[in-house]
Amino acid sequence: MTSDTYPWRSATPREIQTYYEEEFPDYVDDIPNWITPTGPIEYAIALTDPYPVVVGDQPTENRNSKRNFIRRSTQPDEQPEPRFNKWDDLLEFFQKPVHNDPKKGDGPPSPGLIDPKIAESSDYEDLDGVDVSTVPAADAIYYGLEHHDRFWVLVFDIDAKDVAIEDHKQKNDPRRNKQIAKEAGVRDKPPLSEDQKFSYTWDDVQQSIQYGFELKTWLEDCLEFTDTEVFYSGQGTHVYALDEDASHHYTERTRKFLMAYITEVLDIPVDTKVTPDDSRVMRLPYSLHADVSRIVTPVNSPAFDFRSDPVPEFLKADNEVEQ
């Protein structure tokens, strides 16, 4: 690690919006070609704050009903055209998810977010606790692992918190795993903060990257994959096996066997729930992990400096001001 590192902190809603308006568009051409505006079954956004919803033109029965996580299909059955025909459509959604929610105006079962302009009208002026001047940003952006025509893709998720939990288990930590998991992780503070009972460390993040490359090597040497990629996810690593083989369909059973072998034989703490379940979502490459202000970035070496390399411009500006 270099000594000249950047803050490990949450991004503000305004910083998030600025990132998706000014930086992210430059990365669109670098997004891996297996991810397209219409390719994954859906895209999803975690909002920085819960926000009210409506169904069609009417508020929900519970007028205080809010959402902090939304999934939007790329091509619902009831629509003749895809939701997102091009990256510009998605960019608008990422930049202002409330204003540009494609679900707004649809009927049930999935409600749409209230546009502030609508919320200001007389029909909604009595919504309790709603400040229409504050609009949530995209705390995280995901794409669906279920894909229209790339069912052979394998994805593995290695989180720093799982590395830390596994380390404590090996040290015979007497606490139950659920309690350890609840106490693990980082939100607004660095992983070494003294006020946390248990948290992962910088070393756990680095170890997750090391594990990612160990898994990549195993996939190539033992399973003979030729197209594998490693991404730094913000608080861990994502590993992809992408060899195109339309005749081979990895079943849930096959994927669970892989998970058991990787965790029990290779001793790599992969999240066993992600790979077998194609209804899961994964962080979109080059999106912003707003909890720690880091960009989801492709990694070519275990020596990748996650504290200094994948930083957005607003962190660099912070650093210049402090100096």
pLDDT confidence tier of residue 98, bands split at 50, 70 and 90: confident
User: Tens digits of per-residue pLDDT, 220-258?
Assistant: 999 889 999 999 999 999 999 988 775 666 778 888 999
Distance separating alpha carbons of residues 239 and 246, to the nearest angstrom: 20
Report phi then psi at 160, rounded to 5. Answer: -60, -35
Report the distance separating Cα 177 and Cα 166, nearest Å: 9
CATH number of 154-278+296-303: 3.90.920.10
Asked whether 296 and 304 are in contact (CB, 8 A), the reply is no
For residues 192-213, give the mean pLDDT: 76
Reported as half-sphere exposure (CB side, CA atoms, 13 A), residue 182 has a value of 5
Q: Is the bond preceding 276 in cis, omega lying within 30 degrees of 0?
A: no
The pLDDT value recorded for residue 78 is 60
Written as six digits, the tokens of 154 are 């394998």
pLDDT band at 1 (very low <50, low <70, confident <90, very high): very low
- The answer to whether residue 128 scores a pLDDT higher than 90 is no
Amino acid 69: pLDDT: 92
Token duo for residue 48: 């920085």
d(CA 292, CA 186): 8
Per DSSP, what are the bridge partners of residue 43?
A: 72, 143
What are the residue boundaries of the structural domains of the chain, listed by start?
Answer: 35-144, 154-278+296-303
Backbone angles phi, psi at 21, to 5 degrees: -85, -35
Angle, helices 160-170 vs 202-221, to 10°: value is: 100
Which pLDDT belongs to residue 99? 84
Find the mean pLDDT for residues 147-156: 78
In terms of average pLDDT, the best of 9-23, 151-165, 180-194 is 9-23
Position with higher pLDDT, 315 vs 188: 315
Looking at residues 266-290, what average pLDDT do you find?
Answer: 93
**What is residue 171's predicted lDDT score, i.e. its pLDDT?**
62
For the beta carbon of residue 297, count every other beta carbon within 10 angstroms. 20
Q: What is the pLDDT of residues 44-92, one digit of tens each?
A: 999 998 887 776 555 555 555 788 999 998 876 666 667 788 999 999 9
pLDDT at 34: 86
Give the per-residue pLDDT at 134. Answer: 64
Digit-coded pLDDT (tens) for 173-190: 555 455 555 555 543 345
Which pLDDT band holds residue 164 (cuts at 50, 70, 90)? Answer: confident
Average pLDDT over residues 37-48: 92
What pTM does this model have? Answer: 0.85
Chain CA centroid to CA 189, Å: 19
Judge contact between 146 and 34, C-beta under 8 A. no
- Rounded mean pLDDT of 36-42? 89
Instruction: With a cut of 70, say whether residue 17 has pLDDT above it.
Output: yes
User: Lowest-confidence range among 108-117, 218-227, 252-261?
Assistant: 108-117
Write down the mean pLDDT value for the chain.
80
Contact between 198 and 180 (Cβ < 8 Å): yes
